[in-house]
Amino acid sequence: MNLIVKETIDRCRSAGLRRTKALEELISTLLESPRPMTLSELAESKRLTDQCDKATVFRLLQRLAEHGVVRRLGLHERAAYFTLLVPGKHSDYLICTSCGSIEPITAPCPVHHLEDEIREKTGFRNLYHELEFFGVCPKCA
């Protein structure tokens, strides 16, 4: 089992979530995906189709989001996308306001220095940030 999957499952168990095969497969699927995934994409993934139904995937995602293990992305009127939150790993996203597509930003994050300054000046611990940029993608433009 991948170390990040194991650490994430340990975080889930510490939060009171039960370790199940569906939980393991959901975490592995999100970790292996190069981009955030929708509920439908997750429920139809090779790892999860034999493990559970779409409703179970939805309930798992809700619980994981409540405990800060996954992040829900996207426009509220469109399908939500989900990504695994891994301590020490950071991703920012571009979201199309027309079609709702989401892709990770590959440019360096401009906020890391600001985060360090805020941490130093305020004394906050475990400080992190999440950036989502909204616009119209090239396909919709």
21-58 residue pLDDT tens? 999 999 999 999 988 999 999 999 999 998 899 999 99
Per mean pLDDT, which range of 87-91, 96-100, 122-126 is the poorest? 87-91
pLDDT of residue 124 exceeding 80, the answer is: yes
Do the first three CATH levels of 1-86 and 90-141 match, i.e. the same topology?
no
Which class is 1-86 in CATH? mainly alpha
Whole-number pLDDT of residue 22 = 93
**What is the pairing mode between strands 70-73 and 81-84?**
antiparallel
59-91 residue pLDDT tens? 999 999 999 899 998 776 667 889 998 877 888
The 8-class DSSP code of residue 110 comes to: T
pTM: 0.81
Tell me the average pLDDT of the chain.
89
The domain spans of the chain are: 1-86, 90-141
Q: Report how far apart the first and last C-alpha atoms of the chain are (Å, whole number).
A: 43
Report the 10 Å Cβ neighbour count for 125: 6
Report residue 1's pLDDT band, with 50, 70 and 90 as the boundaries. Answer: low
**What is the pairing mode between strands 93-96 and 132-135?**
parallel
Whole-number pLDDT of residue 89 = 81
Fold exhibited by the domain 90-141: Dna Ligase; domain 1 (3.30.1490)
Whole-number pLDDT of residue 130 = 81
Q: By the 8 A CB rule, do 119 and 126 touch?
A: no
